[in-house]
Structure 1
Amino acid sequence: MRIYLPATSAGLRALLDDGELGPAPLTAFAVTPGLREWYHDDDVEALEYAALSEAARASLRLIDADATAAWRRVVVALDAAEDQVEVRDDLDRGVVRLAAPVIAAQVASVHVDDADAEPAVTAAAGAITAADLGDEGAQEKVDDADGFELSWYAPQELEQLLASF
């Protein structure tokens, strides 16, 4: 099952140095029944993009909580066995929980903002909690960050990517 795990630059560093992201349980996003119902689309690629987008938004919350994180959204795309994934659409659309830490061999790709997104991501990370509570001005800042596409990186490019932060 393809999973989209929100992360930060610090999480990527742990993945590179330790070979895993954890500890479990980890909250992530995937194409779940709740996401399918909300998105009203049968195109798998569109549904996966929606799950990736939800993970990118969740990355803002992690950035806001981690003073050491670079001001770039990070999503780790990985493959997990279905018996290691619990669908939690009751929490929000597309939410899943992973029962085990993510190991480097599971990683299919990494998606990260380019440097030009940093001002928007900085503003959005500081506004994400207020946006979650319905503040329209804060939501505009989050939407501005959502307007930036994440760049795709292969797992073997992780060290080079981290050097660019």
Structure 2
Amino acid sequence: MLRDLVADREIRAMNDTAFAVTPALREAYASGDDEELAEVAMAEAARASLRLLADEQAAEENAAESGSDDDGETPVRRPIFRRAVIAADVDGATLRPDLDDAVVRLSAPIAYDRIASVHVDLAEAEPEVAKAVDVIDAADLGDSDAEFVLGDAEDHQLAWYAAQELPFLLDLL
């Protein structure tokens, strides 16, 4: 998705779902300034990123099982297990309290020039993130062991990159 963002100069969030500091999020926390609440929304977005990685992994496994991607000439890429969160200034988001306190629905794709920053796991987080990808569904269903594995991944802070650094970051991955 990040490569498509660089190529297309815009990105559409999956199902137009995004995370933000909302009135419901403010109400859910007895204390905390906007910066602290933004960290909560970022953590929710990072967890959602795990779900995207799990979906991508499942699609790749299905393609490998069916042999649809095996043309004999395409080099095999090592999967990259890094969470990524895009911070952007957007207009027209609507609240989604039916999903969670920090969830909003976007009304349009996000243009590249609206992106404030990109946050991505460093390489040392990959082993824990890969394990978290495998158990994200179980954690969502309340499995305490899976939630513990998720915690190991979430202990890693996402690295901050300016939007203009994204093409160079992708070249390094």
Unaligned runs of 5+ in 1: 1-10
Structure 2 residue 90 is the aligned partner of structure 1 residue 91: no
Is the radius of gyration larger for structure 1 or structure 2? Answer: 2
- Mapped to 1, the partners of 2:98 and 2:23 lie a distance apart of 11
Shift of 1:39: 2.2
User: Deviation of residue 102 (structure 1)?
Assistant: 1.0
Residues 64-83 of structure 1 aligned to structure 2 (within 5 Å): 64-67=54-57, 70-81=80-91
Gaps of 5+ in 2: 61-78
Pair 126,13 (structure 1): closer, same or farther in 2 beyond 3 Å? same
Listed one character per residue, the Cα deviations across residues 4-47 of structure 1 (whole Å, up to 9, x for unaligned) are xxxxxxx1101001111126751010011221122222411101
**Which of 125, 147, 150 pairs up with 1:142?**
150
Q: How many residues align?
A: 153
Distance 1:23 1:45 in 2: 23
CA distance in 2, matches of 1:87, 1:98: 9
- The percent identity for this pair of structures is 49
The TM-score with structure 2 as length reference comes to: 0.84
Listed one character per residue, the Cα deviations across residues 60-110 of structure 1 (whole Å, up to 9, x for unaligned) are: 0000001366200000000011xx101112211200000101110110000
Q: 2:45 aligns with which of 51, 55, 67?
A: 55
Higher strand proportion (structure 1 or 2): 1
TM-score, length basis structure 1? 0.88
Q: CA RMSD in A?
A: 1.4
Match of 2:167 among 156, 159, 163: 159
Aligned with 2:129 (options 118, 121, 134): 121
